[in-house]
Amino acid sequence: MGYLPVVEDDQATGKLKEVYDYIRIVRKQKRVSPVLKAFSMKAELLEQVVKLSDLATFGGTSLSRRWEEILSTAVSTWNGCHY
């Protein structure tokens, strides 16, 4: 399997640090997932991936963000997905 270089949280600077901070603070995630770190070599691309994810994943219903998160977690668990 190939290796994809990534920038770890403590090594992020500039735009990448801003995006990582957004993921941790605004999204309230303890860490940046390895899936998102795969885009870390191109901070602008990671920023757009995060924006697309936010737009596509939440806000498309009359439910509160909290309930959307609860349902998303339940479905992910049911599907055996650890993300």
Tell me the per-residue pLDDT of 26-54, one tens digit each, with 9 for 90 and over. Answer: 988 899 999 999 999 999 999 999 999 88
Cα–Cα dist 48/50, whole Å: 5
Res 73 pLDDT > 80: yes
Please report the pLDDT score of residue 34 as a whole number: 93
Res 55 pLDDT > 90: no
Place of tokens 């939440």: 58
Q: How far, in Å, are 16, 29, 48, 55, 65 from residue 60 at the CA level?
A: 27, 21, 19, 8, 10
Q: Could you tell me the pTM of the whole model?
A: 0.74
Place of tokens 């439910």: 63
Please report the pLDDT score of residue 43 as a whole number: 98
